[in-house]
Structure 1
Amino acid sequence: MRPPKNRKRRWAVLAAFCALLAIAAAGLENRLTLRRYTVGSEKVKKTVRIALLTDLHSCFYGEGQRELLDMVEVQHPDVVLLGGDIVDDVLPEDNAWLTVRRLAARYPTYYVTGNHEYRSGRVETIRKEMAESGVIVLAGECRSVLLQGQRVELCGVDDPKCGGSMWSDQLSAAAKAAGPDCFAVLLSHRPERVEDYLAYDFDLVLSGHAHGGQWRLPGLVNGLLAPDQGFFPAYAGGLYRLDENTDLVVSRGLARESTRVPRIFNPPELVIIDVTPAE
């Protein structure tokens, strides 16, 4: 005896509801993920591993920040780069400083400001505390660093909130300080300023700020909305080949509880970049 049509309809509705719940749960998953990229270059003879952390916004990653710190440790990076908005302008700063100090105690660690550090009104204090924590603050400088027995140029600029002309001057100064024969990395919070970056000879640009476009549809939409890029941002997150000499990596960032709008299909991420000898 076949069940009544209304019973079939109820089962269909229940099945659809459960499917929607499963999709929603997957979309709202905010556990920390590891994202890897590989960039080849004739300027390196041995692989250099970079850990990129951006947009932490003082968010919580377990007791003692162990969830994040343990993931970094397993990757054995040669250098850690902090790409801005590590400290939030609203949330308490304890998680940020705990993360920063423990990273700086284990790895060469470099930092540039983000817009939220400027928004906090404490940017100079934050810079000073970074330096006192053992972090190298980059603001228009380029440091020549020995990584895996070879020279790598690590350059950095403040967030453009420092002022348009000052930011341009910093970018120019950092580029001029970079040696032409070494692999040159630019750490800059904003990914959308690619035309400015391409005016110079950086091999790799590392950014954050876009938060992955906040909402994603994997395989269809890489990001819905990002600050300073608007809807369907061109540089929401990922590896972008800007020209034959320059790559851009945009981290989707580590912000979780600091975001007003939940991340959808866009979990927070630690980014690892391996710069490998070109084949």
Structure 2
Amino acid sequence: MWYMENNKEKILNNLKNVMLDNTGDDTLLGDDLDKDEEIVDQKHLKKKLSKPKRIILLVAAILLVVVICCDMRLKTVRYTFDSPKVENSFKIALITDLHGNRYGKNQSTLIDAIDKENPDLVLLGGDIFDDKISYEKSEETIAILSEKYKCYYVTGNHEYWSRDVDNIINIVKSYGITVLEGGVDTIDINGQMINICGVDDPDNYVYLDGGQKIEDQLKQVEKKVNKDYYTILLSHRPEYYQEYSKYGYDLVLCGHAHGGQWRIPGILNGLYAPDQGLFPEYAGGLYEYESGAMVVSRGLDRQGVKVPRIFNRPELVIIEVE
């Protein structure tokens, strides 16, 4: 005992050397070592983390960042609004900018997400079809939805860019879906009357003989609508926010901006959006005005553009009005 007590330091060092020789790890000695005995051998650690291992860790870290930044899984985004015009709540599913993208076999990922919500209405806010991608998945989506839900549709710019818009509209109508072309449909939802309004994408004026400017279509809608009822406007383009707010819609629903492609949540809502340019004001989310609000969906496109979406998952928008 006397020997151990007077030679404790020597014994501990010998024990530590034995453990290092056999395991390469002095942590196996436990927490009973004095602080001054917990020596970190920097040279040993460098040998332990070899260059190949460092490369593997770096690659893994990069892959993790890519997976998080470029996550393309569908998410559901919810908004709730209160209105004195509504006695019995109702639910809307808004989908925009599908661009013919695939969401599982028979579009099951998207359809199941909508079915889970059991909405009273499904609103299709433009660019469901694309000018460069097969119509197959677009048509499959509207075919399935139209069997289950009351659906409304407005055109986006890509329907016009296809130069096949008449055919696309006929396809949509063939499934019993109402295409709103500067029109209003007043319907009973859960015992109350609701106005569903819609305007064509502004490119109808460019690509169609006799096409109307969006300002003219909004005036046309205004003449038809009874504002005593809760009124929803479906329009592809969010950059007309100031124009929409003049008419006092309770709710405006848009898409088109794709969430600004690149986002930094809490810092940058979007880097670039078509027809708005860099740092778009209306990239995605909620924009309120005195008499109502505009919701901009970040859309469902995840393969149709050359620039990847960053921190910008494709989204299904669910709106509850109470």
Alignment of 1:1-279 (within 5 A): 2-4=41-43, 15=57, 17-163=59-205, 165-241=212-288, 243-276=289-322
Residue by residue over 1:61-92, the C-alpha shift from the partner in whole angstroms, topping out at 9 and shown as x without a partner, is: 11111110111011010000000000010111
SS in 1 for 2:239: coil
More helix by share: 2
Q: Aligned partners of 1:94 and 1:214: how far apart in 2?
A: 25
Opposite residue 49 of structure 1, the aligned amino acid is K
Higher RCO (C-alpha under 8 Å, 6+ residues apart): 1
Q: Aligned partners of 1:73 and 1:272: how far apart in 2?
A: 11
Structure 2 unaligned regions, length at least 5:
1-39, 207-211
SS in 1 for 2:203: helix
Opposite residue 252 of structure 1, the aligned amino acid is R
How many percent identity over aligned positions?
46
Equivalent residue, structure 1, for 2:18: none
Deviation at residue 166 of structure 1 after TM alignment = 3.1
Q: Aligned partners of 1:66 and 1:12: how far apart in 2?
A: 41
Residue by residue over 1:214-238, the C-alpha shift from the partner in whole angstroms, topping out at 9 and shown as x without a partner, is: 0111111111110011111111111
Deviation at residue 23 of structure 1 after TM alignment = 1.6
Structure 1 unaligned regions, length at least 5:
none
Opposite residue 217 of structure 2, the aligned amino acid is Q
Opposite residue 181 of structure 1, the aligned amino acid is D
TM-score by length of 2: 0.81
CA contact (8 A) 1:101 1:134 kept: no
Q: Aligned partners of 1:14 and 1:260: how far apart in 2?
A: 29
Opposite residue 255 of structure 1, the aligned amino acid is D
Deviation at residue 134 of structure 1 after TM alignment = 1.1
SS in 2 for 1:197: helix
SS in 1 for 2:246: coil
Aligned length: 275
Deviation at residue 201 of structure 1 after TM alignment = 2.0
Opposite residue 263 of structure 1, the aligned amino acid is R
